[in-house]
Amino acid sequence: MYLTTVFGNLFIILVVSSDSHLHMPMYFFLSNLSFADFCFISTTIPKMLLNIQTQSKAITYEGCITPMYFFIPFAELDVFLLTMKAYDHFVAFCRPLHYKVIMNLWLSGLLVLVIWIISGLCPLIQSLMLRLSFCTDLEIPHFFCELNHVIKLACSDTLLNNMVIYLGSVLLGGGSLFGILYSYSKIVSSIRRISSAQGKYKAFSTCASHLSVVSLFYCTSLRVNLSSAAPHSSRSSAIAL
C-alpha cells in the first residue's frame, strides 16, 4: 500500500510536469498535493515497516520527536492545498469568463508559496514539545509517535500544549473547512442553474474526486481528534489514521 501510494503520487507529478498541456493552476495544485501526500506518509510509514521487519518496537526520543516536526507541516499543507483546489473549482464554475485572469500561474505559484511558508512555521508550535519532561520506559499505544498520545505520556504539565493544539486545529483546520464548504455551496448553486441534465452530471463528476478526498481527509481527522480525547482510544485512532 505504501509503494502504491508513493509511485501513484510520483507518477502524477511526473505527468503534470512533463505535459505542457497540464501546466494549468488546477494541475499545479494537484502536483503539489501529490508531493505533500508523498512526504506526509513518508514521515511515519518507513519506520513502521522497519519495526515490522526487525520485530523491534523501540524508538529513541529524537527518533520520536523528529518525525512529528515534519508530519504536522505536511498535514497542514494537505489541508491548505485541498482548500486551494476548492477555490480553483469555485472560480472555474462561478467566474468562468474570468478564470484565466484570476487563476493565472503567477497567482497560483504565489498562493502555493504562501501556504508552504505557513506550513513551514508549524514546527515552531511543535517546539513546545521540547519543554515537556517524560518518564523512562514509555510505551506509545500507536504505530507512530502521534502527537496527542505522546503528550498524554508526559510527566509535566501539558495544558499549554493542549491549548495550542486545539487552537491551531480550530483556526487552520476549521478555517480551511469553512472555505471549502463555502466554495462548494456557491458551486452547487451555480450547477443547479445549468439547464441540461448532462451538463449537471459533467459538472458534478468534475468535483467528485476532490469532494471524496476532502470527505475522507476531514472525516478521519475528526475521528482521530475525537477519539484522542476519549479514554482507551488508541485502536480507533490508529485505524482512522
pLDDT tens for 64-81 read: 878 878 888 888 888 899
Fold classified for 2-240: Rhopdopsin 7-helix transmembrane proteins (1.20.1070)
Q: How far from 240 is each of 141, 156, 189, 192, CA to CA, in Å?
A: 14, 28, 32, 34
What pLDDT score was predicted for residue 234?
A: 58
What pLDDT score was predicted for residue 214?
A: 86
pLDDT tens for 13-48 read: 999 999 888 888 888 888 999 999 999 889 888 888
What pLDDT score was predicted for residue 105?
A: 82
pLDDT band at residue 101, thresholds of 50, 70 and 90?
Answer: confident
CA 221 to CA 99: how far, in whole Å?
A: 32
What pLDDT score was predicted for residue 239?
A: 62
What pLDDT score was predicted for residue 229?
A: 55
What pLDDT score was predicted for residue 226?
A: 62
CA 201 to CA 205: how far, in whole Å?
A: 6
Higher pLDDT, residue 219 or 87: 87
What pLDDT score was predicted for residue 235?
A: 61
Location of C-alpha cell 501539558 = 158
Residue 228 has pLDDT above 60, yes or no: no
* pTM exceeds cut of 0.85: no
Residue 241 has pLDDT above 70, yes or no: no
Contact between 118 and 214 (Cβ < 8 Å): no
Residue 232 has pLDDT above 60, yes or no: no
pLDDT tens for 162-192 read: 787 778 778 887 888 898 899 888 888 888 8
Q: What is the mean pLDDT of residues 117-125?
A: 76
Residues ≥6 apart with Cβ < 8 Å to 232: none
Helix, coil or strand: residue 108: helix
